[in-house]
A and B are shown apart, each in its own frame.
Chain A
Amino acid sequence: MTRLEYPFDERQIRALKAGDSVSISGLVHTGRDKFHKWFADGHPVCVDFRDGALYHCGPVVVREGDGWRVVAAGPTTSVRENPYEPDFIAKSGVRVIIGKGGMDAATLDAMRRHGCVYVQAVGGAAAVSAASVRRVAGVDYLDEFGAAEACWHFEVDGFKGVVAMDSHGASLFDRVGAESSARLSELFRQFGQIRH
Chain B
Amino acid sequence: MTTVERIAELVRTTSSSLPDDVEQVLRRSLRKEPKGSGAAMVLNTILENCALARRQSTPLCQDTGTLAFFVDERLRRRVTPSVLKKAVALATARGLLRKNCIDSVGGHSYDDNCADGAPVVNYRAADLSGPPTVTLLMKGGGSENMSRQYSLPDAGLGAGRDLEGVRKCVLDAVVKAQGYGCAPGILGVCVGGDRATGFETAKEQLLRRLNDASPDARLAKLEKSLLKDANTLGIGPMGLGGATTLLGVKIAARPRVPASFFVTVAYMCWACRRGVAVFGADGSVSEART
A residues at B contact (CB < 8 Å): 1, 19-21, 60, 71-74, 77, 100-102, 120, 122-128, 131, 160-162, 164, 172-173, 175-177, 179-181, 183-184, 187-188, 191-192, 194-195
Is there an interface contact between B36 and A123, defined as CB atoms closer than 8 Å? no
Is there an interface contact between A19 and B56, defined as CB atoms closer than 8 Å? no
Is there an interface contact between A120 and B171, defined as CB atoms closer than 8 Å? no
With A and B bound together, what is the CA distance between A195 and B53 in angstroms?
48
B residues at A contact (CB < 8 Å): 36-38, 41-42, 45-46, 48-49, 52-53, 56, 58-63, 95, 98, 140, 142, 157-158, 164, 167-168, 171-172, 175, 178-180, 182, 229, 232-236, 238-241, 269-271
Is there an interface contact between B98 and A184, defined as CB atoms closer than 8 Å? no
- Using a Cβ cutoff of 8 Å, how many contacts connect chains A and B? 132
Is there an interface contact between A21 and B41, defined as CB atoms closer than 8 Å? yes
Q: Given A60-B62, A191-B164, A160 and B240 touching (CB < 8 A)? A: no
With A and B bound together, what is the CA distance between A176 and B42 in angstroms?
16
Q: Given A1-B41, A21-B36, A126-B49, A187 and B180 touching (CB < 8 A)? A: no
Chain B CB count within 10 A is highest, among A126, A131, A161, A188, for: A126
Q: How near does chain B come to A47, taking the closest CB pair, in angstroms?
A: 24
Is there an interface contact between B61 and A126, defined as CB atoms closer than 8 Å? yes
Residue of B nearest to A188 (CB): B168
* 7 A-B residue pairings within 8 Å (CB atoms): A124-B63, A127-B49, A127-B59, A162-B240, A173-B239, A188-B171, A192-B158
Is there an interface contact between A128 and B45, defined as CB atoms closer than 8 Å? yes
Q: Given A124-B269, A187-B229, A191-B167, A77 and B142 touching (CB < 8 A)? A: yes
Is there an interface contact between A180 and B59, defined as CB atoms closer than 8 Å? no
Chain B CB count within 10 A is highest, among A21, A164, A175, A179, for: A21
Residue of B nearest to A62 (CB): B95
Is there an interface contact between B233 and A172, defined as CB atoms closer than 8 Å? no
Is there an interface contact between A176 and B175, defined as CB atoms closer than 8 Å? no
Is there an interface contact between B158 and A180, defined as CB atoms closer than 8 Å? no
Is there an interface contact between B59 and A126, defined as CB atoms closer than 8 Å? yes
Residues of B within 8 A of A77 (CB): 142, 180
Give the residue of B45, B58, B98 whose beta carbon is less than 8 angstroms from that of A125: B45
Is there an interface contact between A187 and B59, defined as CB atoms closer than 8 Å? no
Give the residue of A128, A176, A187 whose beta carbon is less than 8 angstroms from that of B49: A128
Q: How near does chain A come to B61, taking the closest CB pair, in angstroms?
A: 4
Give the residue of B38, B56, B95, B234 whose beta carbon is less than 8 angstroms from that of A183: B234
Chain A CB count within 10 A is highest, among B49, B168, B270, for: B49
